[in-house]
Amino acid sequence: MEKRFIVDCMLGNVARYLRILGYDTLYEIDISDDEIIEKAKKEDRIIITKDNLLWKKALSDGANAFLVKKSYSNTKDILCELKKNGLISLKFSPHNSRCPLCNGKLMISINQPLLKIHKNSEMRVYFVCQSCGNIYWIGKHFKNILKTLEDAEYEANRT
């Protein structure tokens, strides 16, 4: 079974990257530690947190949890650590990717009506979220995301 995650409110950027990588990742900012633990156990999710108390409580309550080191302040370092600990792969596949905002599955689209929305774009392929309808394309921002993933992969394999 594919790994599924629940990420605490301190790691929203990590949640977005996990979704882009195709991992079913819950991220809710208005949820208590007890609710996070309960959801993780009920839905067989791994908790990713920087909160030492949440991590300890999750483990003592029988949930699977990973504690991100407080010294890691950027997303690349955290992704690298998750990779080194065998929790994730950093290989991007557009066919598996999820919406970074809502966690919905993305569908590849080449429909002409979408091209009118971004008429200055030369891109012919778009990704449409099946849940919220957001549209994504491979532009400069996406290339920066891929660079972060490549850098994290390099660091993970280096040490």
Cα–Cα distance, 141 to 126 (Å, whole number): 14
Give yes or no for residue 149 having a pLDDT over 90. yes
Distance CA 149, CA 84 (A): 13
Lowest mean pLDDT of 24-38, 61-75, 111-125, 140-154, name the range. 111-125
68-82 pLDDT per residue, tens: 998 888 999 999 999
- Tell whether the model's pLDDT for residue 122 goes beyond 60: no
* pLDDT on residue 94: 85
Domain extents in the chain? 4-158
Rounded CA-CA distance 47/32 in Å is 13
